[in-house]
Amino acid sequence: MRRIEEISLLLSGALIGFSLLPLENQISNHLVLLGTLFIILFLVGIGLLRWALIFLMRATRAINKKTRKVAIIYPYEVDNDNSSWIGVSFRQIRHVLKKGKILFSEIKNLNDFEKFPIVVNPYGGVYPEEDAFSLKTLESIFLYVKNGGIFVNIADIPFYYAYDKNLNRRIDTTPLIGSLSLTRSFFDTLLSKKLQVFVLGLVDKKYLEQNIARVISLSDNAINYHSEAFSINFEGVKNNYSPYLAIPFGKGYFVFSTLAIRKTDISRILEIIKRSLELID
């Protein structure tokens, strides 16, 4: 947008110069057109269009906030090849939300985040990334939450993988523990680094029987939505963990559920979104 404004100012200046050329007869015939074009270019150049778009975005967000309408990221189909711990299709997700009377819009353009009070990522441990090298989308997500948005991640560890639209496949953003190891470190996930939380993979039978294999540490200001927090002693340090929680960040919240979603418990998606709606101011 800044580039467009700079070009518009240059063109408006060039237009003034053109109007001063000794072509009076030709110019006088198109004076109104030239004047109108100059005004448009000048207004765009000083940022009027940008502010108009910002106003429109804020007005749309205010309406969506009032009607409690959420956005579902949907640039590609939810399936086993490009998602993680999600055993349902987007068609099934759509059906559950409609049945639960949740107002939602499907967004393919990730720049539309700002129009909604809540954005839901239905791909589990995978998230759509525009640029896997700069992590442009991840930075946009954190900025969105910092400014008051609510980002909801359904199933598995958030940001464990990134789906690069340019490569048309998911890629690993979590490094291997060792050069020859096939195991990836939970402590090095983008989630751990960005939010300064501990992420654990559990193998204890008592947790697995409850469908709990991934948990995130609970800070003092985090909200635990699970029936109880787990107190786990890891490497001599005792922390409280949960598979379902809300973590405040800036003015907004990250809502994470690490529990897997299958056809038999697809209604959990509805519960997660309803809980998230309670966080709206």
Give me the residue label for tokens 């946009």: 140
Q: Would you state the pLDDT for residue 100?
A: 94
Distances (CA, A) of 100 to 3, 4, 239, 262: 44, 43, 35, 17
220 and 91 in a single domain? The answer is yes
The secondary structure element, H or E, covering residue 7 is helix 2-19
CB 273 within 8 A of CB 152: yes
| Residue 63 located in a structural domain | no
The secondary structure element, H or E, covering residue 267 is helix 267-277
Q: What's the number of domains the chain is made of?
A: 2
116 and 160 in a single domain? The answer is yes
203 and 89 in a single domain? The answer is yes
pLDDT band at 249 (very low <50, low <70, confident <90, very high): very high
Its pTM stands at 0.82
Q: Between 51 and 166, name the one with better pLDDT.
A: 166
Chain mean position to CA 234: 31
| Residue 59 located in a structural domain | no
| Residue 55 located in a structural domain | no
Q: Average pLDDT of 91-100? A: 94
Residue 208 has pLDDT above 90, yes or no: no
pLDDT band at 219 (very low <50, low <70, confident <90, very high): confident
| Residue 265 located in a structural domain | yes
Residue 8 has pLDDT above 80, yes or no: no
Residues 20-52 have pLDDT tens digits of 555 454 555 555 565 676 566 555 565 555 656
Residue 11 has pLDDT above 70, yes or no: no
